[in-house]
């Protein structure tokens, strides 16, 4: 569900070469936040709709929508957690090494600055990305429940609601991180997570009753082997001699 990433890279390139005119500098933070939010919302929610439509065809209840959303958010959290752990192990290894012996000379200055910045920051800063992924799990579940309404309520505008909600969450987080810092951005994401939990329960629907299997009535025991009625004629008596 990361098709918006290559789209954003291509869009950035078009701005850089002047194919698309850039907005005024004073508007760029808001413009970037809105564009990044909309691209994430459009691509990811359409992909989520496609998943319901062609892949998770059996997910048509509130409980299965929860599982579908948790799977999406959980996978992202696991991947980010693995990346954070990998970065920590890499930085821990490089911390005790002579970087000049393992890093090319033209990259030594950059590598030294990265290692120094990593270990000079507070320990909890390294886990902000993991915290963010954990906070977005309720958001992902809420978005899955919203898109599910397209199929349970037969109303297409729920997909638009999911796109706009996703765009708002991402746009506010991007703008807040640039304007006020990552801690404020995480606070906004936590607020969106709480709102998403409320949305999840507001959209809870009665689970559909399972369709009972048709009962198969076995024949009565006394009729399993019902004797055949054979007319006692001279011809039938003659034939029975050879049985």
Residue 227 has a CB neighbour count (10 Å cut-off) of 5
> Per-residue pLDDT tens for 62-80?
988 888 878 765 566 566 6
Contacts of 63 (CB under 8 A, 6+ apart): 207
3-state secondary structure of 234: helix
**pLDDT at site 72:** 64
At how many degrees (to 10) do helices 128-152 and 182-202 cross? 30
Q: Shortest CA distance to 200 belongs to which of 242, 150, 138, 113?
A: 138
Q: Shortest CA distance to 166 belongs to which of 195, 186, 187, 205?
A: 195
Question: What is the pTM assigned to this prediction?
Answer: 0.70
When computed from its CA atoms, the radius of gyration of the chain, rounded to whole angstroms, is 32
Q: What whole-number distance in Å separates Cα of residue 163 and Cα of residue 62?
A: 19
Q: Shortest CA distance to 65 belongs to which of 212, 211, 208?
A: 208
Retrieve residue 114's tokens.
């990265």
The helix or strand, by DSSP H or E, that contains position 184, with its residue range, turns out to be: helix 182-202
**pLDDT at site 117:** 73
**pLDDT at site 235:** 62
Q: What whole-number distance in Å separates Cα of residue 174 and Cα of residue 169?
A: 9
Retrieve residue 61's tokens.
């209840």
Query: What percent of the chain is modeled with pLDDT above 70?
Result: 69
> Per-residue pLDDT tens for 100-130?
666 777 777 777 777 777 667 776 676 787 7
């Amino acid at each position: 569900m990361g098709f918006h990433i290559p789209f954003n890279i291509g869009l950035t390139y078009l701005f850089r070469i002047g194919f698309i005119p850039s907005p005024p500098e004073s508007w760029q933070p808001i413009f970037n936040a809105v564009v990044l939010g909309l691209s994430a919302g459009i691509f990811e929610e359409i992909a989520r709709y496609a998943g319901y439509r062609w892949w998770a065809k059996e997910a048509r209840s509130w409980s299965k929508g929860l599982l579908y959303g948790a799977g999406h958010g959980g996978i992202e959290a696991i991947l980010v957690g693995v990346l954070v752990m990998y970065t920590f192990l890499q930085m821990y290894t490089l911390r005790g090494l002579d970087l000049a012996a393992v890093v090319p000379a033209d990259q030594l200055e950059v590598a030294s600055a990265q290692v120094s910045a990593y270990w000079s920051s507070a320990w909890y800063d390294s886990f902000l990305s993991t915290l963010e992924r954990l906070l977005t799990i309720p958001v992902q579940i809420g978005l899955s429940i919203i898109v599910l309404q397209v199929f349970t309520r037969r109303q297409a505008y729920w997909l638009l609601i999911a796109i706009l909600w996703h765009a708002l969450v991402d746009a506010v987080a991007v703008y807040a991180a640039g304007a006020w810092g990552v801690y404020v951005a995480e606070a906004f994401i936590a607020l969106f997570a709480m709102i998403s939990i409320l949305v999840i329960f507001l959209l809870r629907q009665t689970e559909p009753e399972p369709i009972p299997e048709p009962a198969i009535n076995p024949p009565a025991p006394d009729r399993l082997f019902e004797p055949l009625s054979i007319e006692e004629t001279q011809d039938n008596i003659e034939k029975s001699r050879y049985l």
